A and B are shown apart, each in its own frame.
Chain A
Amino acid sequence: MKNIKNEFEKNDIIEKNLKQKLQKIVGNENIIDDPNKIEEILVDYSFFPKRYPQYIVFPQNLHEIQKIIQLANKYNIPIIPRSSEISFYGESLHRQGGIMLNLKRMNKILDINERNRSIRIQAGVNWGMIIDILKEHGLRLNMPLFPHPKKSVLTSYLERYPLVIATYEYSEPLGALEVVMGNGAIFRTGSAVGPGEPDEAPETVAFVDPTGPGSSDFYRIIQGAQGTICAVTWGTIKVEAIPSLQSLYFISSESLEILVDFIYKIQRRMIGYECFVLNNIDLAIILSQHLSQEFKKIMRELAPWNLIFVIGGLKRYPEEKIAYEEEILFELAKQVKLSPQKELPGIINANQEILKIIGEAWKKEPYWKFFLKGACCDIFFLTTMNKVPEFDREVRKKTQQFNYPDDLLGSYMQPIEYGRACHLEYNFFYDSKNNQELQHIQSLYREVSEVIYDLGGFFSRPYGLWKEMIFSRHKIYADTLKKTKLIFDPQNIMHPGHFF
């Protein structure tokens, strides 16, 4: 009894000390411990049980972050970095409480380098902030499909969101990173490592090289780690020139097999920029919100599968480039009896609207995934395109067993790197306030995920239940991950309990 009392007293002292010390680091106004406010700030759209931190702190620079992580080590308090104002997959939920390191105030664009087509940004820069600024420089990012404006740009790349342009070979646009490791040490990857501090580097250095230093690619270990190894403060990202002219086509089909075959052909010829497939549900949601037309009407007009394909030309003779790529597009379409169209039958202005929003963050309210029923459960994985029709058949079979309506099942396929692989995503729309529906979706999520894994789907980004599904089946991989984490975070304070 005495021991327990002592423990309580000790914890109480730590708590008081901890808060005082956090206040000293970030200032009184940059720390929150009111549970209601914490709940308000930690917006997570997944259906996983909400677990909250005890404190949210808002550091504004590298050294404050370092001090906070050092403090967390001293008191053995969990810490989770968070750069976005929202999350979708439960990746920022605090399984073991502790401190949320909210990087919202670190939202500076440190460099826009037109010559090297790169930008260096802090972790708190989100999609809503960056696109218009880049436009002024004639630049754009190869970006995810209609990202949430409050999602951190850097985190999107660190979390390996699929990118809509399939023809750049560099599907990993990340350059060098600056981080604070779980052990409290400042570290920089790639060409940012040194010699010396970043501000001592020659002017010709733009920190664009991600590799190394030395025998390990630290940026690879950090990306996909979901905050379990370090806190990233800034990173460099490759950007591209905005085409001076663009031409968008819809290629619609009743058959997923034919469309997949066609995408293989066009990607093998290395033409076009944006290239992705939406089913009629997802495309109808996007169009109805922008064209102010009824969702169901648009959905009925659309073919089940729709490839959106954009050809572009840069500053030199863009018409000529577009013309020869269009010629290839039509020649290949003819081979599989598909017809690329500028407009969708029965839907006015679709071409213009999609072109307008394709390189933008989502601006309408609500976010497109929440339009139909207020909430959305995504199941996504990687595979090769030739396997997509089989995955689609089996996923639909399973959803039918659950009596989940077909007209609520969104689908998005993103070819990657000339069609070498693809991201396949299913969007299950549901009403999160309806308990019965929520439980139903949770069961559906579990069983569909198992079906996908058993068919050979690769969950490269293991969120939620997928973590257990994968790591329990591959012990050596999981063991190697654990050992790797402890090299950088020996006290296991970074997002403990998330992976392990």
Chain B
Amino acid sequence: MVLSNIVIAALKNVVGEKWFSNDPVILQAYSRTRTGLPIEGFPEAVLLPKSTEEVQDIFRLANRYSFRVIPVGSFYFMTCVPMKPDYVLIDPKRMDKLWIDEKNMYAVVEPYVTFAQLQTEAMKRGLSCYISGAGSQISVLANMVFQGAGLHGYRYGLANRCMLALEWVLPTGELLQIGSITNPKAGYFWGEGPGPDLRGLVKGIWGYAGGLGMCTKVALKLFPWAGPKTLPITGISPEKLCKLPSEQFKFYIVKFPTLQKVIDVIYELGHAEIGGKCTCWASAWYVFLLSLSKEQLFDFDEQRIFKDSLKRTLVFMIEGHKSKKQVAYEEKVFKEIIEEYGGVFLPEEINKWFAERLSAELIRSNLITRLWRVSGMFHPLKLGMDTLDHAVEIHQSTLKMVTKYVAKHSKSIYNDEGEGMWVNPYDLAHEGHAESALAPADVKGQQRAQTIGLQIFMDDLQNKRRSILGILEPVIRIFGPTACNFHKYIYAIKKTFDPNNISNPPYPIDLENEV
């Protein structure tokens, strides 16, 4: 259905003629995203509101005139693409303000502020922010309300804990404020309450993917940053280097014979409460992150650069937020632990080469888009969440199945030899997260990645592993019945707060298909 003239006039009335477009050329640009499935769909119109009030009015009009709304951030995930006709898309490009309370270490952002912008401003004030694994180029708000696992988790936990007070336009157009902002004089410093913490209503381990209205402002925790006010970047893209002050930052890559050994060490480092960043990468990550072009990626691959030499590595960084003596203390403890666990340091010069290329990656997640190097597609295969030991089990349990499949289809899927794996600790190793992904070489490869993805998802279900991908339509209907029927509550929440089903259906669950 094409939007009626009445609806178009009403929407233009809300955002202004200039900020409404149904030009097919413009809409083409909004027809597919960078991640996930090769879905293509066209919205009826794109709107660029300026304020929360305008967003509220768009949702109210959607309820009155029965069209659907997709709120997006930086247009990254597949759920940004319309699944059916009758959708308008809210692009928040004009909602791009950020405020920082330096003393109390939090920022308030609108939807179009990126992690890179926030971190740049925070660092000028001796602070830094959580940046998710999805990269510094994306919307802070959209990422936080959707997922948010990342390299900063070793110290600061999961991203959803970084969210403080927020304002949320419900699908009905009502404005829900959560946390300390419910008392207008209190400000945005606190996220819980009053009473039950309704942040839990609007965001879980994954978010509602636009299926429950739109967050228009969120406060986020900032953290002490003792490094330089701007990162000392030199060189020209794509080969930029970052040389952090060596008296404050120590970067290490340490090799281990097995994944389990790396994990044992991460536990010990967490128990010793040392380090600022700590993660485990397998060799494919180095191939992706360090190749400067698609050609170079395949050169590395052919010559087996990194593929054999960096199979199971600990990546660790000491951050001197306290003093030089703290850095010396942590370095001493770190080296002692590595020795105890039989880790092998890289030769100093080689370690330095990596440090200059990857230490900034740990701080600002800037190179992550290189995972799309092969064909512009990237397919998250599985994510697991519980203990670090379970993260290992999540990865290894289906590894044979995946490597065999990928080897068989290596023309359409980049053959990472099972090395496209990342294990990340949270809260000083209290929790762990395993993630593996495939890089399809073409659309066929994308479809094949889906096929093997579904197979290993079913294997995880059967073996009761804590794999967490099955939370959106359509797989939520497979996972839900095995997991306390949680999909029924998600259905009830969606139905209660989006009674006319106008907020990005069918996500997270299709109201037209009863549970």
| A contacts, CB < 8 Å to B | 115-118, 160, 168-170, 172, 185-188, 190-191, 193-196, 200-202, 204-209, 211-226, 228-229, 238, 241, 264, 268-271, 314-317, 320-321, 323-325, 327-328, 382-386, 417-421, 453-462, 466-467, 470-471, 474, 476-477, 480-481, 483-484, 486-488, 499
Contact = CB atoms under 8 A, between A and B. Distances in A.
B333 A316 contact: yes
A1 to B, nearest CB: 41
Contacts of A116: 387-389, 429-430
Interface stretch (B62-70, B246-254, B357-365, B457-465): B457-465
Contacts of B155: 169
A383 B186 contact: yes
Contacts of A218: 200, 204, 486, 489
B272 interface: yes
Contacts of A457: 183, 186
A-B interface, 6 closest residue pairs, ranked by CB to CB distance from nearest: A220-B200, A456-B185, A212-B205, A194-B483, A217-B200, A460-B193
Nearest to B270: A117
A488 B465 CA distance: 26
Given A215-B203, A216-B200, A317-B332, A169 B157 contact: yes
Contacts of B476: 214
A385 B482 CA distance: 46
- Tell me which of B126, B224, B430 has the highest count of chain A C-beta atoms within 10 A of its own C-beta: B430
B345 interface: no
Contacts of A264: 103
B193 A321 contact: no
A481 B198 contact: yes
A273 B158 CA distance: 21
A213 B483 contact: yes
B347 interface: no
Contact of B200 (A117, A201, A202, A219): A219
- Tell me which of B177, B183, B190, B485 has the highest count of chain A C-beta atoms within 10 A of its own C-beta: B183
Interface in B159-200: 160-161, 170, 174-180, 182-183, 185-187, 189-190, 192-200
A324 B182 CA distance: 42
Contact of B489 (A216, A321, A418): A216
B49 to A, nearest CB: 20
Contacts of A169: 155-157, 161, 223, 427
B323 A205 contact: no
Nearest to B211: A215
A145 B110 CA distance: 37
Given A211-B205, A420-B106, A477-B177, A269 B224 contact: yes
Nearest to B319: A270
B93 to A, nearest CB: 25
A368 to B, nearest CB: 26
B482 A196 contact: yes
Contacts of B198: 220-221, 477, 480-481, 484
A191 B386 contact: yes
A221 B190 contact: no
Contacts of A458: 179-180, 182-183, 186, 189-190, 193-194
14 contacts: A116-B387, A193-B484, A194-B482, A200-B464, A201-B464, A215-B472, A216-B200, A216-B204, A218-B204, A226-B195, A317-B332, A420-B105, A455-B185, A466-B194
Given A217-B160, A421-B104, A205 B189 contact: no
B323 A328 contact: yes
Contact of A215 (B156, B193, B206): B206
Contacts of A316: 272, 333, 336
B161 A484 contact: no
Contact of B205 (A115, A214, A421, A480): A214
B7 to A, nearest CB: 26
Contacts of B103: 264, 384, 386
Contact of A487 (B177, B202, B322, B489): B489
A98 B440 CA distance: 60
A323 B332 CA distance: 15
Interface of B: 101, 103-106, 126, 155-158, 160-161, 170, 174-180, 182-183, 185-187, 189-190, 192-209, 211-212, 221, 223-224, 267, 270-273, 321-323, 325-326, 329, 332-333, 336, 385-390, 392-393, 427, 429-431, 460-466, 468, 471-472, 476, 479-480, 482-487, 489-490, 492-493, 496-497, 508
A456 B186 contact: yes
Nearest to B203: A217
Given A117-B271, A193-B483, A211-B158, A480 B201 contact: yes
Contacts of A195: 460-462, 464-465, 479, 482-483
Given A324-B329, A420-B189, A480-B176, 5 more contacts: A201-B466, A205-B386, A417-B221, A456-B186, A458-B193
B157 A170 contact: yes
Contacts of A208: 386-387, 430-431
Contacts of B489: 187, 216, 218, 487-488
Nearest to B208: A215
B197 A224 contact: yes
A382 B427 contact: no
A194 B431 contact: no
Nearest to B324: A324
Contacts of B386: 191, 204-209
A135 to B, nearest CB: 17
B273 A314 contact: yes
A191 B466 contact: yes
Given A170-B161, A215-B204, A477 B185 contact: no
B182 A474 contact: yes
B350 to A, nearest CB: 28
A319 B383 CA distance: 40
A467 B196 CA distance: 12
B390 to A, nearest CB: 4
Contacts of B497: 480, 483
Contacts of B493: 215-216, 484, 487
Nearest to B391: A204
A421 B196 contact: no
Nearest to B104: A384
Contacts of B492: 487
Contacts of A419: 104-105
B322 A269 contact: yes
Contacts of A382: 180, 186, 189-190
A384 B201 contact: no
B430 A205 contact: no
B447 to A, nearest CB: 26
Contacts of B201: 216, 220-221, 480, 484
B200 A221 contact: yes
A315 B468 CA distance: 35
Contacts of B160: 211, 217
A419 B221 CA distance: 11
B201 to A, nearest CB: 6
Contact of B204 (A211, A270, A317): A211
Contacts of B176: 476-477, 480
